[in-house]
Amino acid sequence: MNGVHDMGGMDGFGKVEVEANEPTFHHSWEGRVMAMVRAMGANGGLNIDMQRFSRESIPPAVYLSSSYYKKWFLGLTSTLLDRKLVGADEFAAGHSLHKSAPLPRGTFGVKDVERIKTRGSFQRDVANPPAFKPGDKVRMKNINPPTHTRLPRYVRGHVGTIERINGSHVFPDSFAHGHGENPQWLYTVVFSAAELWGADADPTVKVSVDAFEPYLDRA
């Protein structure tokens, strides 16, 4: 979706402000939100792309004025509702009122914490060989789906060069919407700054994205 989350190349947000000696969490509730998001992913209730799409769907003015973990909380809440894991009446009551939905991996317990310290793998085998190889020129498709995509606006329509093949991975555009893993080849595609930002861009700058094969056309 063409949301405000897709920030690459926007102007006007000002300088990067670094907080010295920043704590892991600024409030204890932030840690609880992070932990609930991880736990509801690990128990199979929600997947990472559903959660990303739910944050992207936060209204722009709210997105820009909310702290990071508040966005995670808002996204978690809406995804739990959408996936029918928690009912609106239960949110209103602050308690469980109905039978729970069965989860693929059951209750997330203490024994599961060790497992999530290591990232899961998104590699999935596919039958077809990769369509592109390093050195190939590709044009990023001009697509504007109202659904989840990991093709940022600032590269759409632009020509880059395949630099790496990163295997075949779960396709977020499908997985976010419950349409299965639909694995696709994943490439690192590199662009000159001039290609992305125009002729007066810094000639020493190159930018890459990791792009799935359905985003690419041969150039």
Partner 1 sequence: MATHEHDHDHDHDHGSELSEMQLRVRALETILTEKGYVDPAALDAIVETYETKIGPRNGARVVAKAWADPAFKKALLDDASKAIGTLGRVGDHLIAVENTPERHNIVVCTLCSCYPWEMLGLPPVWYKAAPYRSRAVKDPRGVLADFGVTLPKETEVRVWDSTAETRFLVLPMRPTGTEGWSEEQLAAIVTRDSMIGTGLPKVLS
Q: Within 126-155, which residues bind partner 1 (CB under 8 A)? A: 150-152, 154
Region 38-57 residues binding partner 1, contact defined as CB under 8 A: 38-40, 43, 45, 52, 55
Our measurement of the distance from residue 27's CA atom to the centroid of its chain's CA atoms, rounded to an integer in Å, reads 24
Cβ-contact 169, 186 below 8 angstroms? yes
Minimum distance from CB of 73 to partner 1 (Å)? 6
Taking residues 195 to 214 in sequence order and writing x for each that binds partner 1 by CB under 8 A, - otherwise, the string is -xx----x-xxxxxxxxx--
Cβ-contact 150, 5 below 8 angstroms? no
123 forms part of the interface with partner 1 (CB under 8 A): yes
What are the two backbone dihedrals, phi and then psi, of residue 166, each rounded to the nearest 5 degrees? Answer: -105, 20
Taking residues 5 to 34 in sequence order and writing x for each that binds partner 1 by CB under 8 A, - otherwise, the string is xxxxxxx-xxxxxxx--x-xxxxxx-xxxx
Taking residues 148 to 187 in sequence order and writing x for each that binds partner 1 by CB under 8 A, - otherwise, the string is --xxx-x---------x-xx-xx-x-------------x-
Alpha carbon distance 75, 72 (integer Å): 5
Q: Residue from 59, 120, 134, 180 that binds partner 1 (CB under 8 A)?
A: 120
Q: Residue from 96, 142, 144, 147 that binds partner 1 (CB under 8 A)?
A: 96
Residue in the block written with tokens 């592109």: 132
Region 55-94 residues binding partner 1, contact defined as CB under 8 A: 55, 64-68, 70, 73, 76-77, 85-86, 90-91, 94
Q: Residue from 61, 84, 109, 135 that binds partner 1 (CB under 8 A)?
A: 109
Minimum distance from CB of 103 to partner 1 (Å)? 6
Question: What's 129's DSSP letter?
Answer: P
Cβ-contact 156, 143 below 8 angstroms? yes
Q: How far is CA 37 from CA 41, 90, 155, in A?
A: 6, 18, 30
Alpha carbon distance 126, 168 (integer Å): 7
- Residues in contact with partner 1, counted by CB under 8 A, come to a total of 93
Q: Is 29 helix (H, G, I), strand (E, B) or coil?
A: helix
Q: Residue from 50, 58, 79, 122 that binds partner 1 (CB under 8 A)?
A: 122
In sequence order, the β-bridge partners of residue 162 are 189
